[in-house]
Structure 1
Amino acid sequence: SHAMPVMSATPEVQTPAVANSRFEKFQMKWKGIKVAVPQSEMDEEVDYSDFDDLLKDQSFSFERGETVTGTIIQFEHNSCLVDIGAKAPAYLPLRECSLAPVDDVEDAVSLDQ
């Protein structure tokens, strides 16, 4: 008889081998490490109807050029994404990240700021 592999409760961290394509290099630079999710967690049913109802009750009336506050959630190439409490994050380009000129978004702002 063959022994069945035992899954541990902690997720296994997978480190990518060598990035061959341009996309893989970009993904390694910006996406971080990949974490294996146990199949049992992937099979769970998610009901988004309550979430949709909550969003319908919110009023999102943002105007172009309006100044709003938010939290930096992700860096992109020459920009970052900001959670402003709307359905989708806001886009913050490099030229608007700082009053002083900077070469990289990460020089002006940090995650969760």
Structure 2
Amino acid sequence: MTLAARVAANTDELPFTVAELLSATVLPAGPQRRGQATAELPGTVLKIPSSRGPLYFSRDAEPFTPAESARAHRLAELAEIVELTALTKDRPQRRRVSEHMLGSEMSEAILARRLFFRDGEGQ
């Protein structure tokens, strides 16, 4: 819960929080930096989609587990929800939006992001 609170308080902390959760290193520009093939990277690489673009993490010791991946993805979704909520509060509303509708809009945004990255368009 402490890590989730950290991300909710400051979404810029997402990469560092996920790295702490996974005991991993944040890769600055993804696994295929200029002149470096993926096979040359030590350990395993995990890609987490975020509202600001994909984040990549590397760890030498052992592969990332499905549970670790799921937790990291949930933190990224939390950051996105916090950012979307801030955006909806900043713009003037022409009609009153219920919490139920706002939740639905956020769910649609998250689903669209998942489909975007699943289909390979976000890579």
TM-score normalised to the size of structure 1? 0.23
- Higher RCO by CA contacts (8 Å cutoff, separation 6 or greater): 2
Bigger Rg, which one: 1
TM-score normalised to the size of structure 2? 0.22
Higher helix share: 2
Higher strand share: 1
